[in-house]
Amino acid sequence: MKSAKFFKYILEFKNPSGTSRGVLHTKETFILEISENGKKGIGECGLFRGLSYDDVPEYEEKLNWLCENINEDAEFLKQELKYFPSIWFGYEQAILNLKHGESLYFPSEFTDEKSSIKINGLIWMGHADFMQQQIEEKLELGFDCIKLKIGVDWNSEREILKKLRTKFPKEKLELRVDANGGFTFEEAKNVLKELANLEIHSIEQPIKKSEVRSPKSEDSLMAQLCAETPVPIALDEELIGIVDFEDKKQLLETIKPQFIILKPSLVGGFSGTDEWISLAENLEIGWWITSALESNIGLNSIAQYTFTKKPKIPQGLGTGGLFTNNFDSVLELNGDQLSMKKV
């Protein structure tokens, strides 16, 4: 018989991290432990306040429910946790860890320390000097793909991108930007043209997600942007809260984005991510996986999973060093290559 328990943990940022939603100082998360026959599996329920679909008052009540019903069939639990994607994700991790032991979730050449994952360097919002300092640090470390958070002060952000592009052509440096829905539709149209001139790889979520769950193409502003954009658009927040397979399919067929960004904590864990990837590949839509400010527990499991999906482009897994009080990590970063630590 299995038993389960959880505890809340508050991660503290080394430096306040800026997004278009404001500055983050702390990040709340929940660690789930499942025990059976003297063995223990650990998973992280990576709730993201203000962004997660399951940021609801009864969140901890649902976690308690899971612990009380931990011996129920997995399919039953999945259905019951359908609207609690981060809790389901924590369960998936804990069950896999219980099975494989130590820090393992998806044994592979990655966990055998024989291979690594290429990631992008993440640049947080802030004043121009702060952003420039972060960029220089990433370039010095050997990153050739950088992602910048934009959407707070576009004039300053544009100048930074211009300077970068003047110094580094697109063959030497891939530039991605993430607006987190920070632009209006009209602003986004102009920004996309300027980004095209700067040969930017892609922009994540230029405008806020659609208010309706199943938008008709003629009513969807995001669909209009994706149809006309001179720069590839990647959906991120747009995917959150779309839980049924047919709704996922309809959203991708309607909006027709060039890429989708997958955060397992926000889109229903490994199984939810699998569905999105399957649909995207059938529609010839590109994808990459990113972490969503999880602790090293969640980041480790996401990295192991990501490797098994055979990613073809840099992934967004470089958030392990953001916190002062993170859990011990089994991952290490050498330049832009994420790998398991040599023991």
Those residues with Cβ within 8 angstroms of residue 251's Cβ, 6 or more apart along the chain or in another chain: 214, 215, 238, 239, 242
**Which residues are marked as active site?**
149, 263
Q: For 101-258, where are the E strands, in sequence order?
A: 117-118, 121-123, 145-149, 174-178, 202-204, 233-235
Paired strand residues for 118: 337
Paired strand residues for 248: none
Q: Which structure tokens are listed for 184?
A: 């209006």
User: How many CB atoms are located within 10 Å of the residue 325 CB?
Assistant: 12
- Closest-CA residue to 285 (of 258, 248, 247): 258
Question: How far apart are the C-alpha atoms of 92 and 74, rounded to whole Å?
Answer: 9
Paired strand residues for 315: 119
Q: Which structure tokens are listed for 208?
A: 């806020």
Q: Which structure tokens are listed for 300?
A: 């480790």
Nearest-10 crossing angle of helices 128-141, 154-167: 30
Q: For 37-101, where are the E strands, in sequence order?
A: 39-45
**DSSP assignments along 106-119, one per residue:** S-STTTTTS--EEB
